[in-house]
Amino acid sequence: MPVLGIIASQNYPRTFSVEYLVVAGGASGSRGGGGAGGYKTATLTDILRATNYTVTVGGGGAGVNSESFIGNNGANSVFSSITSTGGGGGGRGGFTPSVGNGGSGGGAGINNGDVGLASPTGQGNDGGDDVSSGNLGSGGGGGAGAVGSNGTSSSGGNGGNGSASSITGTSVTRAGGGGGSLYFSGTQGTGGTGGGTNATSGSSSANANDNTGGGSGGAAQSTSGNGGSGVVILRYLTAVATITIGSGLTGSTATDGSHTVATITAGTGNVSWA
């Protein structure tokens, strides 16, 4: 019996490790580009069997009329004790408050001088600044991998690029910021790699891609698109445990070598392992 007990403990450890990627929802732009959702990746080493762990996938911020409103922040994503903060809304023009802080900050609108900040720090980057001369370029939204570019007198700032992860077995870039708009004629800001979308003038900007946490581009004289929803991805040794994705969550599993990868794309609920 002691020998059997040792074998059981070796094959079925009481705790095991789960690698995670938790990306929050991206923000919508206004005049400035929307900031990308917060981006966190690491490993939890003390996962227990037969224990519920909360998972929430944050939605993207809804688009707004850029003449009147700051872009809407994205919603937080959660796995267990890990929370990634929704992106900060893009800035409007000439009003206070004028821009949103978040996982990555929104790009500044015009005639206000504020820049959206990455707050709390460590999940993304600040948005870019605006310029109040020439054709009034707004700042790009911050991305997980880079700050948003500043607007100029002839162009909107580009959204900051996202960050790449190979947690699924293939390198994918997520959490790019939205491009900043140019109020008059010139070059509109482009979205950062990883789901951010381009800015526009005189028509609505595109929705950011869901499950990327990307920010939507600014829309100088129209309505911005929605920010992209986030995602929670969990990777663990197949031989060690089997996951159950609970009700309220939308997700799937795949195998990558000796590991199982669970990708959860929407909802709020619990996961557990046996």
CA 210 to CA 194: how far, in whole Å? 11
Share of the chain above pLDDT 90, in %: 85
Query: How far, CA to CA in Å, does 189 sit from each of 29, 39, 237?
Result: 12, 22, 42
pLDDT at 171 over 90: yes
Distance (Å, rounded) from C-alpha 244 to C-alpha 217? 37
Residue 227 confidence (pLDDT) above 80: yes
pLDDT in tens, 79-135: 999 999 999 999 998 767 789 999 999 999 987 668 999 999 999 999 999 998 899
Domain boundaries, the chain: 17-274
Compute the mean pLDDT over every residue in the chain, rounded to the nearest whole number. Answer: 93
pLDDT digits (tens, 9 = 90+) for 36-66: 999 999 999 999 999 999 999 999 999 998 7
Res 14: pLDDT: 85
The whole-model pTM stands at 0.94
Q: Name residues whose C-beta falls within 8 Å of residue 166's C-beta, 6 or more positions apart in sequence.
A: 172
